[in-house]
Amino acid sequence: MKRVYEARDGLEAHMVAGLIEQAGIMAQVNGDMLQGGVGDLPAAGLASVWVADSDEQRARQVIGDFEASQPPASAPTLRERIREPGRGEPDSGRAFRQGLLVGVLLGAALMAWLL
């Protein structure tokens, strides 16, 4: 058996193992149950994907294709993608103040109705 992928967590390891298995290669995830020991164990490198020696090159090709399809680390965040051009950062304080004002007005209307 050869280790072909070292995942950040068990979820990623199982996802990669599933991709490898879709290509007709038997894959095994090891260390995914060790996530509960984080704090007592090092946090990185616990979960890994293993394949038979004869399938190593094909599995690495599947993993390479998967990694090539992922967005680069410098891809814009969701906040950057939904922001309107020229608008700048959203003002979360303004939204809070508006919500507070609506709550106060609704509370006052309810109190007036009950009295």
For residue 29, the domain's CATH number is 3.30.70.1530
pLDDT score at 112: 92
CA 30/CA 10 separation, integer angstroms: 9
Collect the ranges in the chain with pLDDT lower than 50: none
pLDDT score at 45: 65
Give me 45's structure tokens: 């490198």
pTM, 2 dp: 0.57
pLDDT score at 70: 82
Domain that residue 62 falls in = 2-69
For the chain, what is the domain count? 1
Per the domain annotation, does 79 fall within a domain? no
Per the domain annotation, does 83 fall within a domain? no
pLDDT score at 115: 84
pLDDT score at 43: 59
Per the domain annotation, does 86 fall within a domain? no
Per the domain annotation, does 57 fall within a domain? yes
CA 12 and chain centroid, separation = 9
pLDDT score at 33: 78
Sheet strands side by side (includes 2-6)? 2-6, 48-51, 27-30
Give me 108's structure tokens: 């006052």
Per the domain annotation, does 78 fall within a domain? no
